[in-house]
Amino acid sequence: MASPAWTRIPRLETTFTRTLLFGWVLAQVARAAGTPVRAYNLTWKSTNFKTILEWEPKPIDFVYTVQISAGLGDWKSKCFYTTDTECDLTEEIVQDVQQTYSARVLSYPPRNLDTIGSMGDPVLQNAPKFIPYLETKLGQPTIQSFEQVGTKLNVTVQDARTLVRRNGTFLSLRDVFGKDLRYTLYYWKASSTGKKTAKTDTNEFFIDVDKGKDYCFSVQAVIPSRRVNQKSPESLIECTSQEKSVFKETFFIVGAVVFVVIIFIIILSLSLYKCRKTRAGQNGKERSPLNVA
């Protein structure tokens, strides 16, 4: 007599569950035995051209090697047989930051390190293509100097240094990007929250402000031509202080006056000293006896 259909369903579910469990156990055994696992989640991390490739998982009894290629060039191996899950590729990509780079992560069983090539191909995974000039993130800019005089505020931005070199010299962001690099200034009265903006394709801002009012501001690097990673984080906020400016002006004025007075006293003292010396010489001559022929 055939079994009812409803009695076969639990058996099918039980068989399926056992199959999944058996497969999971086999995977764990293989992993524990040193079978390499294909890397995944390969990600480029790059700021001001400092470039690192990251991936997962953390290896258990196997190792990684990273390879990188510029354009259609040959593959170059880096970070040989490492248990890390990141590799610094800055040295390679700064050779030509406008080039398109390919990278891949190879997984090897450690027991085959002396015989790699004779034991078959490693397990490998490709990373997304990477163009440093278009994709590296812009680091937080630094305000080099600022000054508020009357109704004029002058802010100078310091370009970050990169690891890109030309003729043995490390280049700044401005050297690399030229006019593609711009800066945005956000500024507001210290007593207000309403922000205004100013933009420049140089490193200096000259803006009109209200006389006698203190201002706070920050700057941001921008590459408008990009589709992604257009903007950097904003710099630290700086604020002017009119009280300090008045104090500085007063200090310099008082200092200048004191300096002039000191010079005048020195000159007067020298003049009086010379006069006294001259008079003393004349008095000596008058008191000396006449020579007798």
Structure tokens at 139: 């680091």
Query: Tens digit of pLDDT for each residue in 2-47?
Result: 545 444 444 545 655 665 455 454 445 545 555 789 999 999 999 9
Percent of the residues in the chain that have a pLDDT greater than 90, as a whole number = 59
**C-alpha to C-alpha distance for 71 and 184, rounded to whole angstroms:** 34
Asked, as a colleague might, if the bond just before 57 is cis with ω within 30 of 0, I would say yes
How many CA atoms, within 13 angstroms, populate the side-chain half-sphere of residue 105?
32
Tell how far CA 153 is from the center of its chain. 26
Query: Tens digit of pLDDT for each residue in 82-100?
Result: 999 999 999 999 999 999 9
Does this model's pTM top 0.75? Answer: no
Q: What is 20-47 written as a DSSP string? A: HHHHHHHHHHHHHTT-----EEEEEEEE
How many CA atoms, within 13 angstroms, populate the side-chain half-sphere of residue 225?
9
CB 30 within 8 A of CB 144: no
How many CA atoms, within 13 angstroms, populate the side-chain half-sphere of residue 24?
6
Query: Tens digit of pLDDT for each residue in 37-82?
Result: 999 999 999 999 999 999 999 998 899 999 999 988 899 999 999 9
Structure tokens at 140: 């937080």
